Amino acid sequence: MKAHMHTSILAGAAVLGAAALAVPQPVAAQSVDFAGKRIEWIIPYGTGGGSNRWARFYVPWLQKALPGNPVVAVKNMPGASSTKGTNFFARRGSKDGLSILGTSGSTQFPFLLGDRRVKYDYADWEVILATPVGGVVYVNSKLGVKSAADMKKLQKVALKFGSQGPTSLDLVPLLAFEILGLNVKPVFGMKGRGPSRLAFERGEVRIDYQTTPAFLKRVMPLVKKGEAVPIMTWGTLDDNGKLVRDPTFPDLPHVGEVYKMMHGKAPRGPAWTAWQAFMAAGFPAQKMIFVKKGTPKHIVAAWRAAAAKAIALPGFEAAKNKALGKYDQAVGKRAQTLKKIATSVPPAAKKWVLDWLKRRYNKVP
């Protein structure tokens, strides 16, 4: 694939590196009062992964920021690479501001790839907040790998990897492993990254990745006990759309750096271009909060004002850095821009990935 294709993908994502924009509270939002109400927040994942961790982190901050200080209750609905719970929201979610959805990359990728299980459309939802998230790959310490510098050792080892499926967000690690030349055999059917991590802890798989919230909370204890060794991240995009190190894990190399360590040259070609396109779609706005389109404008305005208020509350920044990582939270117009990037990929990259899924896994979404 030509170099200008590579450049255009990253140029389109360059806005990701900008700081989050706060929005003033519209006058119309003042008329909304959720006092005494219960807001149901559907998370289409189980309780052990990063999405659940992200949502439960946000609950108290949103309760403080929303008018009337309502109860925000998380409802976990895992299954079918998150399409089960998301389809439920699309079908049954209300348009009164009392029903919201939290999505992740594994919700976005089936939509992007035309998965037949998808009965939802991102165009039907209004984005309230977007959270950039990183991803960290780690291996069992018994493999004898102490850092990314030892990655060549893994090329000779057969590794199992717990996966929700190749059209989920796990497309990013599966394609990365192939680009790096690792012999990774996925075990499909996991209902989230939480079950995959538990399989790692039981010794059933020896390589895994978790998004930043789950890694900080669930995997760091394993690292401290000497049971897991973090080796790389997916990286993030800077203001110019260039792949750089994840700010939460500055000592860990990103995939591009690891490739150069292993192969002596920078990665290039259609597989690498496609990987960058889907990484940009899956991680810089990986987790988003939505209400349904058709929700009254003053209620949408109240939600957006509450999101901006929540991330500006005293203590939020420090708590967020500890729980979710050092990523700017996006609200207002920036969140809407990130939604567009997260729910579209260049046609050439999509075609390459669809062909790869068919060739590699005999998978047609």
Instruction: Domain ranges for the chain, please list them.
Output: 14-132+284-345, 135-281+349-357
> CA 25 to CA 5: how far, in whole Å?
40
Look at 9 and 31; give whichever has higher pLDDT. Answer: 31
Task: Please report, rounded to a whole number, the percentage of residues in the chain having pLDDT higher than 70.
Answer: 92
Is the separation of the CB atoms in 114 and 363 below 8 Å?
Answer: no
> CA 127 to CA 331: how far, in whole Å?
8
Angle at CA of residue 334, ends 330 and 339, nearest 5°? 90
| 14-132+284-345 CATH, one of 3.20.20.370, 3.40.190.10, 3.90.25.10, 3.40.190.150 | 3.40.190.150
Q: Do domains 14-132+284-345 and 135-281+349-357 have the same CATH topology?
A: yes
Per-residue pLDDT at 13 exceeds 80: no
> CA 40 to CA 101: how far, in whole Å?
8
Is the separation of the CB atoms in 140 and 254 below 8 Å?
Answer: no
Order of strands across the sheet that contains 207-211: 207-211, 135-140, 228-233
pLDDT level of residue 6 (50, 70, 90 thresholds): very low
Amino acid at residue number 235: G
Is the separation of the CB atoms in 172 and 275 below 8 Å?
Answer: yes
Amino acid at residue number 127: V
Cα separations in angstroms, 177 against 137, 303, 331, 354:
10, 40, 33, 17
CA dihedral sign, ordered 350, 354, 355, 359: positive
Is the separation of the CB atoms in 320 and 54 below 8 Å?
Answer: no
Structure confidence by residue, pLDDT tens digits, 214-252: 999 999 999 999 999 999 999 988 777 789 999 999 999
Task: Please report, rounded to a whole number, the percentage of residues in the chain having pLDDT higher than 90.
Answer: 73
Query: Which pair of tokens denotes residue 92?
Result: 């049954």
Please provide the average confidence, as pLDDT, over all residues in the chain: 90
User: Which residue is it, tokens 């990582």?
Assistant: 325
Look at 11 and 146; give whichever has higher pLDDT. Answer: 146
Structure confidence by residue, pLDDT tens digits, 91-131: 999 999 999 999 998 899 999 999 999 999 999 999 999 99
- Residue 257's DSSP bridge partners are none
pLDDT reported for residue 149? 93
CB within 8 Å of 217: residues ≥ 6 apart: 53, 323
Q: What is the CATH number of domain 135-281+349-357?
A: 3.40.190.10
> CA 236 to CA 75: how far, in whole Å?
30
Inter-axis angle of helices 270-282 and 105-112, nearest 10: 130
Give the predicted TM-score (pTM) of the model.
0.78
